Amino acid sequence: MAAPKKAAASTPQDKTDGGSPPEFTREQELKALRDMLLIRRFEEKAGQLYGMGAIGGFCHLYIGQEAVVVGMQMALKQGDQVITGYRDHGHMLATGMDANGVMAELTGRRGGYSKGKGGSMHMFSKEKHFYGGHGIVGAQVSLGTGLAFANHYRGNDNVSVTYFGDGAANQGQVYESFNMAELWKLPVIYVIENNRYAMGTAVSRASAQQDFSKRGASFNIPGRQVDGMDVRAVKAAGEEAAAWCRAGKGPFILEMQTYRYRGHSMSDPAKYRTREEVEKVRHDQDPIEQVRNRLLAAKVSEADLKAIDAEVRDIVNASADFAQHDPEPDAAELWTDIYR
């Protein structure tokens, strides 16, 4: 029997959800630009610190996927919860968590969100309704469903936004969660961040059903494919899904067709795809450049856009300086926050 041929992954431009998304106001475009720039500059700096040895363990960067979490946050209200996997720094920043605290956690310092004991994959903020990055593939899906159950039980109209990737979409607990969420009509938006390669295997080689918006069909859960590189399309889809959940109709699936520019983690050379493929997505679909070009067309000056980038770089540089000079946790912290 001949070995199966290696299939290349399709990139986000191969599929769209059709039609033009609703236009943003000038203020919305500027906010989206700043929020996405903050995530990108932060991740670029995190990559530099990892290369210098200041960040240990694993480090999964979100560069290229910024429109997904920024657009979703624009569609949510105060009290809605967010939970995700280990590619999580962008989600933290988008929910309003402080860059100093996130970067300090990456470097294992006392001022980090988990007191320097959790690192990249284990940060939480009850105040910002961020319930963690999680290192176990797919684990956050059942936890996010539990958040939705808590909302349902309390009778509020909050929504749990549960992010996971195309690789995690094949985990068994995902479908157990789908079944429970639809059976009990839980207010959860399952956001599948389809960046085409999971840990390094193209979706065409790993998934029999590559339209992830249909993954809830057997449970009667509606879904949408969304251009995850366009922040406007993400916001519009997020609003539709949130309205569905708040109306008591149960869960909703959003497949965000997006793309990561770096490897799965900082230790991944990403030899499973070509440099030309990555550069084509950067050139044709970069989420930040799309917003930047629209603002320039709307007569926002280049100087004003550079000023936003400069402000963001100052925030990120300050966070890196803080993270490298903040003290490490005292050894006694090894015995705190432990269940006995």
Helix (H) or strand (E) holding 165: strand 160-165
Is 334 within the bounds of a domain? no
In-domain check, residue 216 = yes
4 inside domain: no
In 3-state terms, what secondary structure has residue 266? Answer: coil
- Answer whether residue 281 is part of any domain: yes
Residue 213: which CATH number? 3.40.50.970
| Distance separating alpha carbons of residues 106 and 73, to the nearest angstrom | 23
**Range of the structural domain that residue 107 is part of:** 26-320
CA–CA distance from 338 to each of 105, 108, 114, 211, 331 (Å)?
18, 18, 13, 42, 14
Query: For the segment 195-220, what is each residue's pLDDT rounded down to a tens digit?
Result: 999 999 999 999 999 999 999 999 99
Under 8 Å between Cβ of 114 and 54: no
pLDDT digits (tens, 9 = 90+) for 103-140: 999 999 999 999 999 999 999 999 999 999 999 999 99
Is 9 within a domain? no
Residue-wise pLDDT tens digits, 241-275: 999 999 999 999 999 999 999 999 999 999 999 99
Classify residue 6: in a domain, yes or no: no
Q: Indicate the pLDDT class of residue 10, thresholds 50, 70 and 90.
A: low
* pLDDT for res 4: 42
* Strand ordering across the sheet containing 252-257: 81-83, 160-165, 188-194, 252-257, 223-227
In a domain, 290, yes or no: yes
33 pLDDT higher than 70 = yes
pLDDT band at 143 (very low <50, low <70, confident <90, very high): very high
For residues 238 and 72, the answer to whether their CB atoms sit within 8 Å is: yes
In a domain, 253, yes or no: yes
Q: What total of structural domains would you count in the chain?
A: 1
Q: Which of 8, 3, 65 is nearest to 206 (CA)?
A: 8
Specify the pTM: 0.93
